[in-house]
Amino acid sequence: MAHPSQLGFQDAASPVMEELLHFHDHALMIVFLISTLVLYIIIAMVSTKLTNMYILDSQEIEIVWTILPAIILILIALPSLRILYLMDEINNPHLTVKAIGHQWYWSYEYTDYKEIAFDSYMVPTQDLAPGQFRLLEVDHRMVVPTEAPVRVLVTAEDVLHSWAVPALGVKMDAVPGRLNQTAFIASRPGVFYGQCSEICGANHSFMPIVVEAVPLKYFQDWSTLMLEDA
């Protein structure tokens, strides 16, 4: 998860998030090179007293600075479109979870199991156990298996919400009366935190999301326990 004074992204926990981080570094390097070139030209134009007739009026330079930006835009657009289509791909999910946004908590329904459904409320500060994070911990986590495609159906009961977990590269709006879907693969075990990312009222800051990714064996044990408690 994020830590104080962090400048970069959280460590990726899904293949899509890894692709997003690579694209971010790719685009940032292009921006850095362009900024360096522009800064050099500005300094050179301001500091030098010499003039060059071939720079003041040159068809070749105009062709270069017209074609070069187009090439740079293509180098940015093609990887971006590839990741955009990757994020929309949902092929044979092994598990489907329905996330419903309320004011101000989330509820989860495991649609592959008839009786696994629960509400997920933020743990108040005074009830936190040692090692738990303030405003981020919940009483019931969304548990998913690692290395398995998980489809999340996102909707809302009252107002607009947004189900977002940065480490998994997932962010999907929850709209009342509409069922949106997204998918992710947790590439390693861990606990991944998120928050509602759409201003939804007075307690918008107090409806966190916690996804716990565990190996398949432990997920089966957890689902069996939940079915027995139902």
Check pLDDT > 80 for residue 230.
no
Detail the DSSP E strand segments found in 133-215: 142-145, 149-156, 161-165, 170-174, 180-185, 190-195, 208-214
The range of the structural domain enclosing residue 84 comes to 15-88
User: Are 67 and 115 part of one and the same domain?
Assistant: no
* pLDDT tens, residue by residue, 3-59: 888 888 989 999 999 999 999 999 999 999 999 999 998 998 888 877 766 666 778
Q: Which pair of tokens denotes residue 58?
A: 């040159």
In a domain, residue 216? The reply is: yes
Contacts of 131 (CB under 8 A, 6+ apart): none
- Choosing from 39, 62, 88, the residue where a domain stops is 88
User: Are 80 and 160 part of one and the same domain?
Assistant: no
What one-character-per-residue DSSP string does 24-58 give?
A: HHHHHHHHHHHHHHHHHHHHHHHH-----HHHHS-
User: Are 74 and 133 part of one and the same domain?
Assistant: no
Check pLDDT > 90 for residue 61.
no
* pLDDT tens, residue by residue, 178-208: 999 999 999 999 999 999 999 998 999 999 9
Q: What is the pLDDT of residue 139?
A: 93
Q: Cβ of 177: how many Cβ atoms within 10 Å?
A: 7
User: Are 211 and 100 part of one and the same domain?
Assistant: yes
User: Are 99 and 210 part of one and the same domain?
Assistant: yes
- Choosing from 48, 72, 88, the residue where a domain stops is 88
Task: Please state, in angstroms and as integers, the Cα–Cα distance from residue 114 to each residue in 111, 117, 227, following that order.
Answer: 6, 8, 9
The CATH number linked to 48 is 1.10.287.90
User: Are 44 and 112 part of one and the same domain?
Assistant: no
Q: What is the pLDDT of residue 84?
A: 92
